[in-house]
Chain A
């Protein structure tokens, strides 16, 4: 862990019509930490991710990445700056193979995107990179399956694979275990733990499975109704009276 801040949200707000989905949120993400953001459904976690990854412009506030204001920077530029994002609702290329889904992401980071008269399959570096990622997420043997034909659990893995193939420095995981059965969760947690620590990456992990968050994260931020309710170590959060009274009963409910 270092004390350097990689990403910072400053007074970030997002208003949809009359609904304040993200309400004056300021948050600092330290380099090489696993930073969890928890909170009930509708707390504004995904919207916060949309602001951090550039999918939507904020109504107010700014996003600072490595000391630079990136509030108005497009998502595609942020990807090249080293920010990767996975989605809560699986967001893959449905009519392409698993391999092609991941290969596209690997290719995006290279310098061959504007070669119109060479065969993509002859650029072995991207295929090799994809193989590596496919191995890591445990989809070996599924390379030539159409992404849409995968069972849900494997779609979730592919969702992560697409992000990983870009080799981001900062990974935004939006409920990676969404919709998975509890038997499938440990394997995915293992994968996440591995990819984050393997290259000293930084991760923001949005989850509402309390058990998962507590065991693997360094810092936990609790959100509710668009605002930050508390922040601290997993232990501090678990014993925080305010959090407990407001949410923990509800969140722990998922545990049992």
Chain B
């Protein structure tokens, strides 16, 4: 009897059923630009259709960043205030390489396979490998601090480390390279990847990136390693007592969260064709925190919803309330946290079974009478 209860549903059918909401969401997002174009008739790369693609690109990328934060805080129970360091690190890695290194390579070398020119592809590949390397290093930096420090002390140190990297990103010493305070603008991109000329391409790259990251992270949190990371959140002493070394699993959590954040940052830099100190700042971390709390920690879907609310509702609030919109949003945030203490998805999942029960009870009332 218990067997039946606990054996997981596997295969494609089980996957579709379990991820139904997410898959519907992806389908809607695929259709969105085309539908909006039909309604408005502005053309895919113009006017309001183009504008909303842009809003959604930011949403997709921020959703991945928020999910990576959820890996840390929701699954690992690790409260880091320096997560933007990875996001910004990825962004600066891309912007610096594309601006100061790639043009040189592209004008001086040709890499070909037969007749196929793969110089550009190779350059992009190298850039993304560097992004991963930078993210790993930043992840290691943060996880090294978590070996000895716990709780509030640890949170303070992540704040300090994050600030250090933020200060580095706007240091005037590197003005020639990073643009210091103003950031690095006008990052050269191949035409097919240029968000002004080919927004729809960037839209689908960002959407594909979100889909892929969700699938990979979803698998990771349900993997043997991921489950131990969750155990570390729940009870570190007991975890040791049954034979796990918490340091190793915390490091894995940091590294994977940092890599996803770095990739998100890299894509964000491409989308904005720039890297700015805001991307490494605590404000960016706090945004991810708000998105994660809004949607529900430890759910992955939650941060996506949180990012959507912040980006889309934020846009409407901006048009309605102008520059004061964060104030209104703050009130909304407080209300949501008050009434949905586990976030939108978290609270819904908690109450789902009781809602289901009540509906069943309701229908049983009728069947009994007949």
A contacts, CB < 8 Å to B: 53, 55, 74-76, 79-80, 84-85, 87, 91-96, 99-100, 103-105, 107-109, 112-123, 127, 131, 134, 140-141, 143-144, 162-163, 165-166
Please name all residues of chain A whose beta carbon is closer than 8 Å to the beta carbon of B242 when the two chains form the complex: 79, 104-105, 108, 162-163, 165-166
- Inter-subunit contact A96/B238 (CB<8 Å): no
**CA gap between A120 and B10 in the complex, in Å:** 12
- For the complex with contacts A76-B241, A104-B231, A121-B222, 17 further pairs of A-B residues with Cβ separation under 8 Å are A76-B244, A84-B241, A91-B241, A96-B231, A99-B6, A103-B227, A104-B228, A107-B227, A108-B242, A108-B243, A113-B244, A115-B224, A117-B223, A119-B222, A120-B226, A127-B6, A162-B238
- Inter-subunit contact B241/A114 (CB<8 Å): no
Q: In angstroms, how far is the closest chain A Cβ from the Cβ of B3?
A: 7
- Inter-subunit contact B228/A144 (CB<8 Å): no
Please name all residues of chain A whose beta carbon is closer than 8 Å to the beta carbon of B223 when the two chains form the complex: 115-120
For chain B, the bracket of interface size reads: 20 to 34
| Cross-chain pair count, CB within 8 angstroms | 114
Task: Indicate if B235 sits at the interface (CB-CB under 8 A).
Answer: yes
Residues A141 and B227 in contact in the complex (CB < 8 Å), given A85-B241, A91-B235, A162-B238: no
- Inter-subunit contact A93/B1 (CB<8 Å): no
- Inter-subunit contact A141/B238 (CB<8 Å): no
**CA gap between A127 and B279 in the complex, in Å:** 44
Q: In angstroms, how far is the closest chain B Cβ from the Cβ of A81?
A: 9
Residues 1-19 (chain B) with a chain A CB within 8 angstroms:
1-3, 5-8, 10
**CA gap between A114 and B238 in the complex, in Å:** 19
**CA gap between A107 and B256 in the complex, in Å:** 21
Give the most central of A93, A127, A134, A140: most B CB within 10 Å.
A93
Residues 251-285 (chain B) with a chain A CB within 8 angstroms:
252, 256
8 pairs of residues in contact across A and B, judged by CB atoms under 8 Å: A74-B240, A76-B241, A94-B235, A109-B243, A115-B223, A117-B220, A119-B8, A119-B10
Task: Indicate if B225 sits at the interface (CB-CB under 8 A).
Answer: yes
Residues A100 and B227 in contact in the complex (CB < 8 Å), given A53-B241, A93-B235, A113-B244: yes
Please name all residues of chain A whose beta carbon is closer than 8 Å to the beta carbon of B252 when the two chains form the complex: 116
**Nearest chain-B residue to A113 (Cβ)?**
B224
- Inter-subunit contact A120/B220 (CB<8 Å): no
Please name all residues of chain B whose beta carbon is closer than 8 Å to the beta carbon of A163 when the two chains form the complex: 242
**Nearest chain-A residue to B9 (Cβ)?**
A121
Other-chain contact of B238, A92, A99, A118, A119 (Cβ < 8 Å): A92
Other-chain contact of A108, B216, B237, B244 (Cβ < 8 Å): B244
Other-chain contact of B224, A74, A92, A123 (Cβ < 8 Å): A123
- Inter-subunit contact A116/B237 (CB<8 Å): no
